[in-house]
Structure 1
Amino acid sequence: MSKDKIVIVGFGFSGLTILANFIEKAKHPLEITIFDKQSINGCGIAYGGDSKVHPLNVQADNMGIFESAPQDFYDWIHDNKALWESLYPDLKISKENYLPRKLYGLYLKNKLNTLLKKAKEKKHHIQFILEEVIEVTHEGNTLFVKSKEGKKSEADFLIIATSTPPTKNFSFETKELLESKNYIRNIWNPSLESQVEEGKPNHHTIIYGSGLTAVDALLSLKEANYKGKISVVSLTGLFPEVHSKINLSPIEIAPFNPSKDLLFLLKEYKTKWNFLKTKRADWRQLIDSLRPYTSYLWHGLNYDSKIQFLKRLLPLWNRHRHRMSYSSFEVISKLKPQIKKGRVSNVIKLSDQKFEVVIESPEKREAFLADVVINCSGPEYRLNERRDSLLSSLFEQKMITPDSLNMGIKIENLETLNSDKSGKIFALGSLLFGEKFETTSVPEIRSQAATIVKTILNDFQ
């Protein structure tokens, strides 16, 4: 009897939690083929980096790979001290800590090994292919997945788990600039610590972008004992807000009423905040209490309200919602980077180790010399800028549809998360940004994975 066939494209955290759910929950053997163009260890870009100092953005007791066991990572740390103690001999462990991302990568690799043993016991057939998928076709109810190198796999269901979007591209990024070792677009693998030198006092590094990626870059520069000048450029001229130094207890708020009108939601938010201030609540508690409702509120907004939010409020939301840990704040305070409000309009390579960086603001246009330039501008969600062969293939054949904002894939059914009318193709993570908004952190992704796997297994049974 032939096994039901699943193809997963992408094997970072999203792909791993999908695989984990299939192995744990399937009641009959499956044939699962996994494609990834970079690695097959389950860590992806987010958790596969070499740096020892980049922290997680979610507390330790909420990082398990299963929706039903969010504390699993925290439990694993205590049960497997021998696997990580030599790497972090002085690490302080608590449920509220934002632990190192490299440690989380060890957890994911260890869980993958355990899962593969269980898959063998349950007679699942798991195949890993380290190649990029560029095309999907279909004949009747069967999908055919093709890689760049020509490998083909048959599938009853396809799950697109390529969760981490590429870094934003800029028109000034010439081939010569991109080939320069001192113009850096990837700070994780290899780690930024290994890509920069200590630098002399007159050495100048310019980082553009001031979100959590820039925070990681600054932590790496500190770890590399960088001694030069650091400038950070962004449209807001502001770093992310900081998590509270003390653990804040969760608060319960009355559910928000969905509305098509952004102004209505903002008024309701203000009313709730005014009430919580009378209870001496911290603003972080209100932001965090929105998490269970954010996707539903976002999906209910009309197109114009979503556009207005993205244009006017997204930087403010990101700064307060995606905060840095207090320990990161302490490190950055000691580095004392100079922050500039504006946009980088051009980077010109003058020599192998010297650049001219042009920064524009409403008031002025300035040019600065830099020895290192680091692109921390953040992820590119716009589909027309992503240059993804697989998505292009699916869109051209009308197998899937872009969402109304052109920032991801349209979901045909919010309850099952299928992305095509036949119910054969699913996506999760950043590809659902336009539809669900809050969709890129571990708690949201593992919930999506559980929903997708449940939907597919119900179909098989």
Structure 2
Amino acid sequence: MSTSSGRLSVTIIGGGASGVLLAAHLLRNRDTDIRVTLIERRGEFGQGLAYSASQRDHKVNVPARGMSAFADDPEHFWRWLQQRGYPSSHGSWVFVPRRLYGAYLEHVLREAGKSNPGRLLVMSEEVMAVRESKNGIETLLANGTSVVSHSAVLAVGHETQPARSRGIAVRVGSERDTPLPADAEVMILGSGLSMVDAWLSLADANHRGPITVVSRNGLLPKGHRDVPPLSIDSADVPFGTSLPYFMRWFRDLVDETKKRGGDWRSVVDGLRPYNQRIWQSWSGHTKRQFLRHLRPWWNIHRHRLPPELHERLVAAVASGQVKLVAAEFVGVERAEGQVRAEIRRRGSSTREKLGVARVYDCGGVSVDVLSSSNPVIRDLVAHGRARADALRIGLDVNEHCAVIDHAGKVTEKLLVIGPLTRGRFFEIEAIPDIRVQAATLAARILSHA
């Protein structure tokens, strides 16, 4: 067991974007004597699910000008790119490969450690559980040792759902994602950003066969444009209203903006500073309505594609190589050397079977925290030390990101950052939002020094 010294100490569980950003913010103030232990089982820091994509065309969906690790230094990432001679004819409105952004986060962490010798410890270990002790929080590792610190922060990020249908469906980039004949027929389940990754992987392999994309709503992500966000006064935002009322207000605002020659993207981006407040002002019923009926629509407008990728995707659909089908995926089976997928088209009660060479499951990340495979989350929930939020899309936390246990008691020493807090904040999955949360959480932790 490694024990906490007299200095303030924090253990961060998870070395993806959320964990790295929090560590960097904790170490920005050289006057504070703090020990930060960052633990990531894969031993790759800054990568995580989002930024470990290795292919060139797998890009971030926020321009470089919005991807700085520090909200108060918005040009930080752009300067880093310029120092490395990254080409861009559009200045900082450029969408870089995700693997490059992962390298940037590694650089941010490395620089934080170098500028604060002895204050950062990184460990490549798997965390199994956390326990409160009289000295703080004990983090138990799979190797049988533990780390004791004044507080611990869960920064485990997104979790991928297991592939559906008894493993017949395949995850992109997995061991079972073996090369296919160039003319093979393929089905992709889901039409969001993960689908785009699958399609790009096939395109990079010069795949020429037909690709059927199946999703309940049949919606494709929209593309970015370099337009300024609309200036919206908070007094004009209808906080706490019903969902139909809010949507009427939103559509009216979009219509007014278009009549003035503007773009709907300006309205979506202009709302960004208020998104968390809007979510928190809604009743539980309204939140469930949104998740059930409007989240797919919101996602394609809010989480947009780089323009060049969007143009390529639209062209692939127009050419007929990619066919978008609004349908429910029923199941899949192996038959006669093929995979037979069964679907039910929207508005129909008839099931139909389609024979393909492979089904890719791109249903996105898991949002049911109670089905988590992460041992830390499973242990916390099983022992009542944490509970799911009311919507089961994350852990229940208070306004300061402290965990709430099964009995409703706040555990001030155990904190959460990033997507696991989506039940309270909802819009907490992109870098511009996480970096603000990291700065706020770091300031709160350092205030106890």
TM over 0.5: yes
- Pairs within 5 Å for 1:261-410: 261-335=242-316, 336-350=321-335, 354-361=338-345, 362-363=347-348, 364-410=350-396
- Taking a change above 3 Å as real, the CA distance of residues 129 and 308 of structure 1, as seen in their structure-2 partners, is same
Residues 381 and 430, structure 1, Cα contact 8 Å, conserved in 2? no
C-alpha displacement of 1:398: 3.3
In 2, the alpha carbon distance for the partners of 1:104 and 1:444 equals 16
C-alpha displacement of 1:111: 2.4
C-alpha displacement of 1:148: 2.5
C-alpha displacement of 1:134: 1.8
| 1:54 maps to amino acid | H
- Taking a change above 3 Å as real, the CA distance of residues 109 and 387 of structure 1, as seen in their structure-2 partners, is closer
| Structure 2 unmatched runs, 5+ | 405-409
1:30 corresponding residue in structure 2: 34
Return the match for 2:139 from 124, 134, 145.
145
- Taking a change above 3 Å as real, the CA distance of residues 200 and 80 of structure 1, as seen in their structure-2 partners, is closer
Return the match for 2:402 from 406, 418, 437.
418
Residues 166 and 386, structure 1, Cα contact 8 Å, conserved in 2? no
In 2, the alpha carbon distance for the partners of 1:26 and 1:304 equals 46
Task: Check if 1:434 corresponds to 2:427.
Answer: no
| 2:227 maps to amino acid | L
- Pairs within 5 Å for 1:37-436: 37-81=41-85, 92=89, 94-120=91-117, 123-124=118-119, 126-140=120-134, 142-167=136-161, 170=164, 172-174=165-167, 177=168, 183-187=169-173, 195-197=177-179, 199-201=181-183, 203-244=184-225, 247-255=226-234, 256-335=237-316, 336-350=321-335, 354-361=338-345, 362-363=347-348, 364-412=350-398, 414=399, 416-420=400-404, 421-436=410-425
The alignment's TM-score, normalised by the length of structure 2, stands at: 0.90
C-alpha displacement of 1:355: 1.6
Q: Which moved more, 1:46-55 or 1:361-370?
A: 361-370
In 2, the alpha carbon distance for the partners of 1:209 and 1:184 equals 13
Residues 32 and 446, structure 2, Cα contact 8 Å, conserved in 1? no
1:180 corresponding residue in structure 2: none
> Secondary structure, in 3 states, of the residue corresponding to 2:92?
coil
- Taking a change above 3 Å as real, the CA distance of residues 213 and 243 of structure 1, as seen in their structure-2 partners, is same
C-alpha displacement of 1:200: 3.4
C-alpha displacement of 1:168: 5.6
C-alpha displacement of 1:214: 0.7
C-alpha displacement of 1:443: 0.5
In 1, the alpha carbon distance for the partners of 2:266 and 2:172 equals 33
Residues 30 and 116, structure 2, Cα contact 8 Å, conserved in 1? no
- Taking a change above 3 Å as real, the CA distance of residues 221 and 200 of structure 1, as seen in their structure-2 partners, is closer
C-alpha displacement of 1:384: 2.0
| 2:333 maps to amino acid | I
| 2:166 maps to amino acid | E
In 2, the alpha carbon distance for the partners of 1:72 and 1:3 equals 30
| 1:382 maps to amino acid | D
> Secondary structure, in 3 states, of the residue corresponding to 1:144?
strand
Q: Which moved more, 1:263-272 or 1:70-79?
A: 263-272
In 1, the alpha carbon distance for the partners of 2:289 and 2:447 equals 39
| 1:59 maps to amino acid | P
In 1, the alpha carbon distance for the partners of 2:304 and 2:414 equals 34
C-alpha displacement of 1:418: 2.3
> Secondary structure, in 3 states, of the residue corresponding to 1:384?
helix
In 1, the alpha carbon distance for the partners of 2:365 and 2:68 equals 24
Residues 389 and 396, structure 2, Cα contact 8 Å, conserved in 1? yes
Percent identity (aligned): 26
| 1:452 maps to amino acid | L
| 1:98 maps to amino acid | F
C-alpha displacement of 1:151: 2.5
Residues 197 and 226, structure 1, Cα contact 8 Å, conserved in 2? no
Residues 165 and 430, structure 1, Cα contact 8 Å, conserved in 2? no
- Taking a change above 3 Å as real, the CA distance of residues 62 and 200 of structure 1, as seen in their structure-2 partners, is closer
| 2:13 maps to amino acid | V
The alignment's TM-score, normalised by the length of structure 1, stands at: 0.88
Residues 63 and 73, structure 1, Cα contact 8 Å, conserved in 2? yes
In 2, the alpha carbon distance for the partners of 1:146 and 1:457 equals 24
Residues 38 and 123, structure 2, Cα contact 8 Å, conserved in 1? yes
In 2, the alpha carbon distance for the partners of 1:440 and 1:277 equals 28
Return the match for 1:4 from 1, 4, 8.
8
Return the match for 1:15 from 13, 19, 40.
19
- Taking a change above 3 Å as real, the CA distance of residues 227 and 315 of structure 1, as seen in their structure-2 partners, is same
> Secondary structure, in 3 states, of the residue corresponding to 2:156?
coil
C-alpha displacement of 1:112: 2.6
In 2, the alpha carbon distance for the partners of 1:173 and 1:118 equals 49
Number of aligned pairs? 432
Residues 381 and 433, structure 1, Cα contact 8 Å, conserved in 2? no
CA shift digits 1:177-200 (9 cap, x unpaired): 3xxxxx43244x78x9xx453623
